Amino acid sequence: MLTRKQHELLRFIQARLEESGISPSFEEMKEALDLKSKSGVHRLISALEERGFIRRLPNRARALEVLRQPDDSNNKGQDTTATSGDLAALRKPGKVSEPANDVIEIPLHGRIAAGVPIEALEGQSTLPVPAALLGSGEHYALEVSGDSMIEAGILDGDFALVKRTNAARDGEIVVALVRGEEATLKYLRREAGMVRLDPANAAYEPQIYDANDVQVQGKLAGLLRRYN
């Protein structure tokens, strides 16, 4: 059986996840439950985790997942009144939601040209990325080299976040593998059995290839930029 505060916290976390996909911060949990310190939140979280109601997701900062809700019979007679406006927005219990405010590690594959194609996918490390920047599917990152996509806001040294796919529509920014050896980041266009890879910089000319020479390896899902 959960205590009143444990049950309120579980409902608060669930409500936030269902509402926005974002797990609440410890400060938000402290205020919602009217606790005096974050240490009280830590104790409640640990108790819920030990009892199998929640879990902390690995490799993700401050990420919680609700695994189950307590049986109604276990909470008879308990005061489970919402303690904030967020609790008032509770939906049906039992839905497991994936938080989106945490950080996940995705593969980082070398550098990719935003200019003349260069060899990509050299070696592999990882890059921490806010989960909110990524949608569904498998993703990887490439460091951008060159300036041919600057008019699309893609600069030299940026990290392109790429959704792995071999299909893309005309006008989408893709990672295109040319003749199985070189990769580039460009707008994709198809015309008369050919593939045109368009830059976003007036100083560069489009690159035109036979359709069989170009393989789409992903499409741009987002960007990360470091400011030194």
- For residues 191 and 226, the model is more confident at 191
Query: Could you tell me which residues come within 8 angstroms of residue 135 by beta carbon, excluding any fewer than 6 positions away?
Result: 163, 221
pLDDT tens digits for range 29-68? 888 888 888 778 888 888 888 888 888 776 555 578 888 8
Amino acid 73: pLDDT: 37
Catalytic residue among 30, 145, 148, 219: 148
Quote the CA–CA distance of 124 and 106 in Å, as a whole number: 10
pLDDT tens digits for range 65-101? 888 887 643 444 343 333 333 333 333 344 444 444 4
Amino acid 46: pLDDT: 83
Amino acid 108: pLDDT: 86
- For residues 108 and 194, the model is more confident at 194
Tell me if residue 76 is catalytic: no
Q: Are 162 and 114 in contact (CB under 8 A)?
A: no
Burial class (CB in 10 A: 0-12, 13-18, 19+), 92: exposed
Q: Are 68 and 53 in contact (CB under 8 A)?
A: yes
Domains of the chain listed by start with CATH number: 4-88 (1.10.10.10), 103-224 (2.10.109.10)
Catalytic residue among 30, 163, 186, 219: 186
Q: What is the CA radius of gyration of the chain?
A: 24
92 is written with which tokens? Answer: 């049906």
Nearest residue to 140 (alpha-carbon basis) of 225, 219, 200: 219
Amino acid 85: pLDDT: 39
pLDDT tens digits for range 125-178? 888 887 777 777 888 899 898 899 999 999 999 999 999 999 999 999 999 999
Torsion on CA atoms 143, 149, 155, 161, rounded to nearest 10: -40
- Residue ranges of alpha helices (H) inside the chain are 4-20, 26-32, 38-50, 85-88
Tell me if residue 97 is catalytic: no
pLDDT tens digits for range 153-168? 999 999 999 999 999 9
Quote the CA–CA distance of 42 and 52 in Å, as a whole number: 15
Quote the CA–CA distance of 85 and 98 in Å, as a whole number: 22
Query: Position of tokens 């041919």?
Result: 148
